[in-house]
Every structure is written in structure tokens, then in C-alpha cells.
Amino acid sequence: MTTTTGDRLVEFDDVVARYEPVIGLETHVELGTASKMFCGCPTTFGAEPNTQTCPVCLGMPGSLPVANAAAIEATIRIGLALGCRIASWCRFARKNYFYPDIPKGFQTSQYDEPLCTAGHLDVEVDGETYRVEIERVHLEEDTGKNLHVGGATGRIHGADHSLVDFNRAGIPLVEIVTRPVPGVGARAPEVARAYVAELRDIVQALGVSDVRMEQGSLRCDVNTSLAPVGSLEWGTRTETKNVNSLRSVERAVRFEMRRQAAVLDDGGRVLQETRHFHEETGSTSPGRSKEEATDYRYFPEPDLVPIAPDAEWVEKLRVDLPELPAARRARLQQEWGLPATEMTWLVNAGALGLVEETVAAGASPAEARKWWLGELARRANDAGVDLTGLAVTPAQVAELTRLVAEGTINDKLARQALDGVLAGEGGPAQVVEARGLAVMGESDELVAAVDAAIAGAPDVVAKVQAGKVQALGALVGAVMKTTRGKADAATVKRMLEERIVVS
């Protein structure tokens, strides 16, 4: 299948000068419950295909579902964190359609009676706050996974045969649907991204999912439409399916805006359709057309009793919600005395929690921030991992800053000590000891190095003595080199001056 890199695209600035976008997001979060939504099978990611199945999640004749109470609780907590109204009574519904990855011939979902409704999420882009209204939060079951073998695209068309893995079938899935978000203009791509990022952080703070986009435990469908600026009606929307990283969310909206603008400019009509996003090119291409649209024939699931959450219990869940990301950011910003932009950097780098823990372990906020956004960010980038993927703990980072503050090591030695920590040689103090990284005092070794530097560069000494004090730097450098950076530069400079200038 070809991607639509052949689509004509309008320059983004030009798009937003003439068109107003409306975006909408449907986000699926796989819950991290120990067992599946309607049976006792485990939910571990990455197990051998079809090893985590039973008659219920395979849809065997006669089997019946029983709702997972932990999943219902997690969904209500997500709803509460988004300020939703929690239904006092609601039902599951059957969404009927045929596909090999849905074992029962229907997906157990919720239809006109979602568990949570009418919430909102405020997101910040460039210091400005945008309110995203939440239409509904409901609970359903995930499908199995199809693997289409043969053919070029990995899609079913052109495949020789298909395999189905039902390990994922029946894993609880929470769907969070926004209302259409108008009025975001040129910020639409960033608002979409910020919304997903904030939602991810909330779900993570609630501890109900590991929200790993790369493993598919958080998946996004992005709706985009364009209408001419000043138009009273919204345009026709497209739904870009399975956009699976924050960056892709932003790119998908941007691409759709540019593509749709070109269609509209040409006097064309945007088709209401499902589109696929292509990671490699950042483009979208048409998927299933609505001609094949299924009538899902929703009706209340008779095999499950209605959910009727007790009001007092819901209230207790509300009271027991953890501190949510926005509140936490505000608190930390105040505690650390950081400007808003620096907080944003920390958040975007995924360093907020690490800095917080590093500060808790005794580092100053400024030092902690400097390490995580500087040296450690570089290391992570080089290694191609997240900050959390580095083999160094916040406590160890705090220890490094303490060793520097105490003068045991300098910044350069600290970086060498970090090398040792990352190489698994132990904690910073251990590495400093083992590698002999401590800063040298005015030892015989240092005196010898200073004398050798003076003896080895009579021309430089002459320049200094002639008044070119800045030439001293070359001698300091020579000493630092001899001592492999373990000397304290200020001490070396003083010793050199004592020997050359004052004599």
C-alpha cells in the first residue's frame, strides 16, 4: 500500500491563516489489572501467543463474562481525576461485528450508558491554558491481535494467511473521548499532544496503567477537521487511527490540517473516513471507507448485571485520589522557585519525578535540574533511552552533587564518577574511591606537576612574567593534563602564581 506522501500539502502557516481546525481525541488506555476484564486470565505483556487464554476470553460456546471490579474502580478513578460525573447505574453493551480478533462476534463495551461523563482536562501550551472537555470515559475489552503473514504492508489485504493472538483479547480498556475542541488555531497540533501527555501523566499518577505508548497500552485516534476562518459550521472530520506516540499525535494533526487545506483549496470535499498514520513519513492514508461502515447493533449486554457504584464509595475514591500532575507541578514550581518555562522543560524531558526524588535525596533543586537536563539528558540521548532508563538513581545523582559541593570532586571528576556509576561500578563515592578520582590537595605529586610545567615551558613563563597573565592558562592546562583532571584548577593557578609571578 502506498502512503499519501503524494498528497498536496499547504504550508502550515498558510493553513492557519485561512482555516480554523477542530480536533478531537479518542484515547484507549489498557488497564494494568492483574487479570482480564471478564475472566481470570493474566494480562502480562509479551507472553507466548495464546498462552493467556481461557474459554471465556476465547468466546467458547457457553462461557460467560464476569466484570473485573478492579477495572471498574480504575475507570471511575480516571473519571474522577478528569472531573467527570460518575453514573449511579449503567450497563455494558454489545458492539456486534465480525472480525477474527473478536472471539465472540461482538465486543463488550459501553454505549449510551458510559460509566463517566462530562469532565474536562486543562492543558498548557506555551504558557496558555486550553480546556479540553471530556465527553465520556467508558470501559470495554480489548481485541486480540492479528498478524497478517505475507503481503507487503502487514495489512490483511494481500496477506497469504493471518494468525490471531488472543492474549490481548479481554484486557480491560478504558476509552476516553473528548468533545470537539475548537478555537485552538495554530496550536491545534500542540494542544492535541499536550492533552495526550497530560492524560498519560494523570493515568500514571493514578497507578492504573503503565501507559506505554510504544507497547500499545495507550493508543490514540485523532479527529481533525478544518473550516474557513469565520465559518459557522465545522468541516468534515477524518479519524486517524492508532497514533502511538506523542510526537505522532502532533504530526498527525499537522499533516491532516495541511492535507485537508489543500483539498479544500482545490474546491474538493474532505471525506469522512478513517485514516492510517505512517510513522516513517509522518503522513496519513485512507483506511476503511464509511461505505463499509458497520451497523454495530448495540444492545445492553444481558450476560452482565448493571454497574451501580455506591455513592459513598465513589466519594471515598474521589477523596483518596493522589495528587494529580497539574497540582504537583504547581507545588514543585513554588517549592523550587523555578520559572514556568523551566518547569515545562523538566516536564517535557520527563525529568520532573527524577528531579523531585533527587531533591528529596538532598540535592539542591538547581543542581538536580542541571544534572538531569544536562549531563544525564545527553547520556540518555546517546544511549537512546529515557532518563528513567539510565542506570543511575536519583539518590546517586544527589550523592554526586554532594561530593562536588564538598569539594571532594570537581565537575569534570563528577562526570568520570558518573561514567563509573553507569558502568555498574557502584555508587558515586565507591567509584571516586576505586578510580582515585578525588581532587588533589597541595601534595608532592601536585608540586612536582607544577614544577614540571614551569620547567617545560620557559617561553610561557617569560610571557607571564612580562605581564601577559592570561598566558598562565596554558600552564594550568598542562598541570591538569598531567594530573588527569584530578587537581583543583584554582589551587593550581595559585601555586603557579606563587612560583612565577611573586618570585
Partner 1 sequence: MRSRAMSDVQLTTKDVAELSRLLTAGDVSAVDVTRAHLDRIAAEDGGLGSYLHVDPDAALASAAAVDQARSAGAELGPLAGVPVALKDLVVTEGVPTTSGSKILEGWRPPYSATIASRLADAGTVLLGKTNMDEFAMGSSTENSAYQVTRNPWDPSRIPGGSSGGSSAAVAGHLAPWAIGTDTGGSIRQPAAVTGLVGHKPTYGAVSRYGLIAFSSSLDQAGPMARTVLDAALMHEVIAGYDPRDSTSIDAPVAPLAAVARTGAEGDLRGVKVGVVRELGGEGHTDGYEPGVLARTREAIERLAALGADVVEVSCPSFDLALPAYYLIAPSEASSNLARYEGMRFGLRVGDDGSHDLDEVMALTREQGFGPEVKRRIILGTYALSSGYYEAYYGQAQKVRTLITRDFTAAFDGVDVLVSPTTPSVAFPLGARVDDPLAMYAADLCTLPASLAGLPAISVPSGLSDGLPVGLQIMAPALADDRCYRVAAALEAVQDAARGHRLLDELPSAAGVRA
Binding site for partner 1 (CB under 8 A): 55, 58-67, 94, 96, 98, 100, 103-106, 156, 162, 164, 295, 297-299, 302-305
Instruction: Decide whether 127 or 302 has the Cβ nearer to partner 1.
Output: 302
Q: How far is the CB of 67 from partner 1 (least distance, A)?
A: 7
Q: Are 224 and 284 in contact (CB under 8 A)?
A: no
Q: How far is the CB of 263 from partner 1 (least distance, A)?
A: 29
Instruction: Decide whether 111 or 277 has the Cβ nearer to partner 1.
Output: 111
Q: How far is the CB of 303 from partner 1 (least distance, A)?
A: 5
Report in angstroms the alpha-carbon separations of 243 from 171, 192, 275, 315: 20, 11, 10, 34
185: helix, coil or strand? helix
Q: Which three cell numbers stand for residue 16?
A: 492557519
Instruction: Decide whether 59 or 180 has the Cβ nearer to partner 1.
Output: 59
Strand-pairing partners, residue 164, are 146
For the chain, the distance separating the N- and C-terminal CA atoms, rounded to the nearest angstrom, is 81
What is d(CA 245, CA 222) in angstroms, rounded to the nearest whole number?
12
Instruction: Decide whether 67 or 432 has the Cβ nearer to partner 1.
Output: 67
- State the sign of the Cα–Cα–Cα–Cα dihedral 389, 391, 393, 399: negative
Around 188, how many Cα atoms within 13 Å sit in the side-chain half-sphere? 30
Instruction: Decide whether 104 or 276 has the Cβ nearer to partner 1.
Output: 104
Q: How buried is residue 373: exposed, middle or buried, by Cβ count under 10 Å (0-12/13-18/19+)?
A: middle
In terms of Cα–Cα distance, which of 143, 175, 172 is closest to 68?
172
Q: Which three cell numbers stand for residue 421?
A: 556509576
Q: How far is the CB of 362 from partner 1 (least distance, A)?
A: 51
Q: How far is the CB of 170 from partner 1 (least distance, A)?
A: 14
Q: How far is the CB of 30 from partner 1 (least distance, A)?
A: 22
Instruction: Decide whether 305 or 360 has the Cβ nearer to partner 1.
Output: 305
Instruction: Decide whether 157 or 312 has the Cβ nearer to partner 1.
Output: 157
Q: How far is the CB of 138 from partner 1 (least distance, A)?
A: 18
Instruction: Decide whether 70 or 474 has the Cβ nearer to partner 1.
Output: 70
Q: How far is the CB of 324 from partner 1 (least distance, A)?
A: 33
- Within 8 A by CB and 6+ apart from 70, the residues are 31, 33, 34, 35
Q: What angle do CA 31, 34, 35 make, to 5 degrees?
A: 90
Q: Are 23 and 191 in contact (CB under 8 A)?
A: yes
